[in-house]
């Protein structure tokens, strides 16, 4: 656009690349930030830089954190023996908001997808298999989205985990067909967890 | 939320304070940024810090820029003799996208509002009056929102500018009742400018 300082235009372009923001809402967000320079814009810049510098994936479960182990893996308050498998960190957070699961997680980093050519070797599946014996896991709860790719991945995991002799269950009642965990209300996720069934 | 690293939680809280983003879209935006740490998150942090450090209001018109005069006031390509009065920078940008106005601007910084107790002394009205003589202005175009407060402000300005002997016009045809400039398509703004009438 004519006669907008290039630094501000570059900032708007970056903001417009965030999910849920288009060009117009990016412009409004930048003007809002400029109007709250000291109380919001400068702290936000610092927070982004700090997280960008410090964030890393948990060496065990793939969740994000700032240390080698994420807060959940590092906590001694989480139940041992159960692993909840999720597609990504957004779904892990959705499970945590539900508050019903007390064990630890395993973040696959995606789902199998013929269309996107994502095979088992592209996900953190070998690491999951390794954890069964190493951590003495007795139950793996598959909390995958009720989509075609999610369910394909669930079936693949159930077979891959069979030799380990671990019980494999999945979220059942309450997850609507085609539904994505991150869109569900907290109570629904809790109910689905409690009513989980053998896979 | 339980077991999210505090730095990431603080970042989500700040993002959720931007207009158009709620808690859920803030979470999604932060996860998106973490997934694009090097190509988006770090550059965005730097761009925010740079703009927060460098941005200032133009000493003449109130627009934002990085120097004492904004790019529009500093440009020798803009027509002299005409000032377009807008409520805020978002409306100035909307006028610029329309591309029909070739003169310079004056950003009021708000509108008169009985409800919010905003009087003439809270807006950049004295500076506007000063500019008429100092810059040899022959026409002031009021491009204020077609809201009650916008039109109250327009009437006030028309009276305040009367002693200066300057022609006062306003955007007319094309601006819908209750409409806000920043929501209009570019063509509508251009048509409204061309069909401006004496106020
Ligand atoms: Zn972990
Ligand atoms: Zn200016």
H or E element: which one contains A159? helix A148-161
3-state helix, strand, coil in chain B (%, to 5): 50, 15, 40
- pLDDT: is A44 or B172 the higher one? A44
The 10s digit of each residue's pLDDT in B110-156 is 999 988 899 998 999 999 999 999 999 999 999 988 788 988 999 99
The 10s digit of each residue's pLDDT in A140-191 is 999 988 788 988 999 999 999 999 889 999 876 556 656 677 777 676 677 6
The 10s digit of each residue's pLDDT in A7-60 is 999 999 999 999 989 999 999 999 999 999 999 999 999 999 999 999 999 999
**B24, B40, B47, B186, best to mutate vs chain A, most A CBs in 10 Å:** B47
Q: Are strands B56-57 and B197-198 parallel, antiparallel or unpaired?
A: unpaired
Those of residues 3-32 in A touching chain B at CB distance below 8 A are 3-5, 7-8, 10-11, 14-15, 17-21, 24-25, 27-32
What was the pLDDT predicted at B52? Answer: 96
Are A19 and B4 within 8 A, CB to CB?
no
DSSP strands (E only) in chain B: 56-57, 64-65, 82-86, 104-107, 139-142, 167-170, 197-198
The 10s digit of each residue's pLDDT in B8-41 is 999 999 999 999 899 999 999 999 999 999 999 9
What was the pLDDT predicted at B177? Answer: 53
Could you tell me where in chain B the CATH 3.40.1360.10 domains are found?
77-170
In angstroms, what is the span from residue A35 Cα to ligand 1's centroid? 39
Nearest CA in chain A to B54: A7
Cα distance between residue A100 and residue A91, in whole Å: 14
Could you tell me where in chain A the CATH 1.10.8.420 domains are found?
6-54
Nearest to B14 among A24, A43, A90 (CB): A43
pLDDT confidence band for B171 (50 / 70 / 90): confident
DSSP strands (E only) in chain A: 56-57, 64-65, 82-86, 104-107, 139-142, 167-170, 197-198
Q: Which one of the ligands is nearest to A59 CA? A: 1
Q: Residue B4: list chain A partners with CB under 8 A.
A: 71, 93, 96
Inform me whether the C-beta atom of residue A74 falls under 8 Å from chain B C-beta atoms.
Answer: no
**B163: exposed, middle or buried (Cβ count in 10 Å: 0-12, 13-18, 19+):** exposed
Cα distances from A41 to residues A28, A38, A61, A186, B16, in angstroms, run: 13, 6, 33, 32, 13
Q: Which tokens hold the place of A13?
A: 């372009």
CB within 8 Å of A131: residues ≥ 6 apart = A60, A83, A106, A137
What was the pLDDT predicted at B125? Answer: 95
How many contacts does A have with B, using Cβ atoms within 8 A?
A: 169
ipTM: 0.83
Buried b (16+ CB within 10 A) or exposed e, A91-120: bbbbbbbbeebebbbbbbbebbbeeeebee
Are B110 and B88 spatial neighbours (Cβ–Cβ below 8 Å)? yes
Alpha-carbon Rg for chain B, nearest whole angstrom, is 20
Those of residues 39-58 in B touching chain A at CB distance below 8 A are 40-52, 54-55
Cα distance between residue B153 and residue B171, in whole Å: 14
Judge whether residue B191 has pLDDT over 70. Answer: no
Over residues A57-86, the mean pLDDT reads 94
Shortest CA gap A167–chain B (Å) = 26
Cα distance between residue A72 and residue B3, in whole Å: 6
Q: Residue A96: list chain B partners with CB under 8 A.
A: 1-4
Are A170 and A157 spatial neighbours (Cβ–Cβ below 8 Å)? no
In angstroms, what is the span from residue A165 Cα to ligand 1's centroid? 23
Buried b (16+ CB within 10 A) or exposed e, B96-122: bbbeebebbbbbbbebbbeeeebeeee
Are B25 and A19 within 8 A, CB to CB?
yes
Are B115 and B173 spatial neighbours (Cβ–Cβ below 8 Å)? no
* The model's pTM: 0.81
Q: Residue B182: list chain A partners with CB under 8 A.
A: 24, 28
- List the beta bridge partners of residue A85: A106, A142
Shortest CA gap B165–chain A (Å) = 30
**A1, A6, A8, A78, best to mutate vs chain B, most B CBs in 10 Å:** A8
Nearest CA in chain A to B101: A2
The 10s digit of each residue's pLDDT in B62-91 is 999 999 999 999 999 999 999 999 999 999
Over residues A53-77, the mean pLDDT reads 94
Residue whose tokens read 């939680």: B9
Q: Which one of the ligands is nearest to A65 CA? A: 1
Among residues B109, B124, B190, B181, which one has the least CA distance to residue B147? B181
CATH of B77-170, one of 3.40.50.880, 3.30.70.1140, 2.40.50.140, 3.40.1360.10: 3.40.1360.10
Taking the C-alpha atoms of A160, A162, A163 and A166 in order, what is their torsion angle to the nearest 10 degrees? 120
Are B58 and B70 spatial neighbours (Cβ–Cβ below 8 Å)? yes
Inform me whether the C-beta atom of residue B75 falls under 8 Å from chain A C-beta atoms.
Answer: yes
A6-54: CATH number: 1.10.8.420
3-state secondary structure string across B30-86? HHHHHHCHHHHHHHHHHHHHHHHHHCEECCCCCCEECCCCCHHHHCCCCCCCEEEEE
What was the pLDDT predicted at B94? Answer: 86
């Amino acid at each position: 656009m004519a006669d907008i300082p290039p630094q501000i235009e570059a900032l708007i372009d970056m903001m417009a690349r965030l999910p849920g923001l288009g060009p117009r809402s990016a412009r409004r967000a930048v003007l809002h930030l400029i109007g709250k320079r000291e109380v919001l814009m400068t702290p936000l810049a610092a927070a982004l830089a700090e997280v960008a510098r410090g964030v890393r994936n948990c060496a065990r479960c793939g969740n994000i954190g700032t240390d080698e182990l994420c807060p959940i893996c590092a906590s001694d308050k989480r139940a041992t023996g159960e692993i909840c498998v999720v597609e990504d960190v957004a779904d892990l957070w959705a499970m945590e908001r539900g508050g019903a699961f007390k064990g630890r997680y395993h973040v696959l980093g995606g789902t199998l997808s013929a269309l996107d050519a994502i095979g088992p070797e592209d996900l953190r599946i070998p690491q999951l298999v390794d954890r069964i014996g190493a951590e003495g896991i007795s139950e793996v709860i598959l909390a995958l989205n009720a989509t075609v790719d999610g369910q394909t991945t669930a079936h693949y995991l159930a077979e891959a985990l069979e030799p380990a002799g671990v019980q494999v269950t999945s979220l059942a009642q309450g997850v609507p067909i085609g539904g994505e965990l991150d869109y569900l209300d907290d109570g629904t996720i809790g109910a689905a967890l409690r009513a989980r069934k053998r896979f």
